[in-house]
Structure 1
């Protein structure tokens, strides 16, 4: 049976090992890592999937911001990575982690959510779209159609031009 636990209950090295297995040890050069560099994950929105005492998946969320040209910084929570151990992928564990995070976000999120991900999947199952992100920029390469966002917990999304980066 799979348990969904707070990520803070999991040994940090186990999380790093899972992320290496899911994304490779070169993952730190990706744009998503640049955005959240030096930040700590949001404990109330970050979870682990554990089966028989073994970590099989994680979801992390990060406090970032949309920085407009006029200097206004609007808080946003960056979702991801959603990682599942390669040998148990396609078992619904990533989806379960997303559902748990979204349930928590409805009461715990201090801002809207954003992510870099597959628009068909995250739109269809979780309500993320690129509707508000067309004028947003990231500090590195990315595909515009994969920059997604979702309002949550009464927090709207900025739609003006701006750079996503640390809060």
Structure 2
């Protein structure tokens, strides 16, 4: 899969070949993006974003390999971000991905950046062989990507959450059949991991 895809926001789709004057480009996050990503998240989600239950599953860990994506404007400014994380659904349950946070520069909302990031993240997760994606978000927004609460009724986040907002998407049919229990982080960073890698996951 290509490292980056130009996106024409007028058509609001990801395309595989260059278009004239792309409004933004989707690609993998780079080490130098950390400060810009964190500033964007603060602007888009507020200073209380790190108190959310999902943060407990991300803290001190790296995103799933190949699944930390950003949207860049034509001047290389970061205008969107999404990351996915390895989790386990219940004790002894199946492996899945936790999606989030998804954020777009407030001044660029309505240009299709969030949708493009979602579609690219789902496509990459499928190609990489992951079975399912879970997230906590508004059903009214994420339903367009196939997410629902149909199979999350017996799953629990490690902290306060709204049941109706715990959503999932199966990438492999029946992957979430019988899923139950507390969602927990998997593949935690080793204690010997370098400080720079830990900063990159913050």
Do the aligned residues in 1 keep the contact of 2:157 with 2:182 (CA within 8 Å)?
Answer: yes
Report whether the alignment pairs 1:135 with 2:158.
Answer: no
How many residue pairs match? The answer is 163
Choose between structure 1 and 2: higher strand proportion: 1
Deviation at residue 109 of structure 1 after TM alignment? 4.1
Deviation at residue 155 of structure 1 after TM alignment? 7.2
Deviation at residue 126 of structure 1 after TM alignment? 0.5
Moved over 6 A (4+): none
Q: How large is the RMSD of aligned CA atoms in angstroms?
A: 1.7
Do the aligned residues in 1 keep the contact of 2:104 with 2:113 (CA within 8 Å)?
Answer: yes
Give the stretch that moved more between structures: 153-162 or 114-123.
153-162
Deviation at residue 37 of structure 1 after TM alignment? 2.1
Q: TM-score, normalised by structure 1?
A: 0.90
Equivalent residue number for residue 16 of structure 1: 38
Give the stretch that moved more between structures: 29-38 or 137-146.
29-38
What are the Cα deviations for residues 76-100 of structure 1, in whole angstroms up to 9, with x where unaligned? 1001111001111122110010011
* Secondary structure at the counterpart of residue 38 of structure 2: helix
Q: Give structure 1 stretches of 5+ with no counterpart.
A: none
Give the stretch that moved more between structures: 157-166 or 134-143.
157-166
Q: Give structure 2 stretches of 5+ with no counterpart.
A: 1-22, 187-202
1:76 to 96, 101, 111: 96
Deviation at residue 23 of structure 1 after TM alignment? 0.8
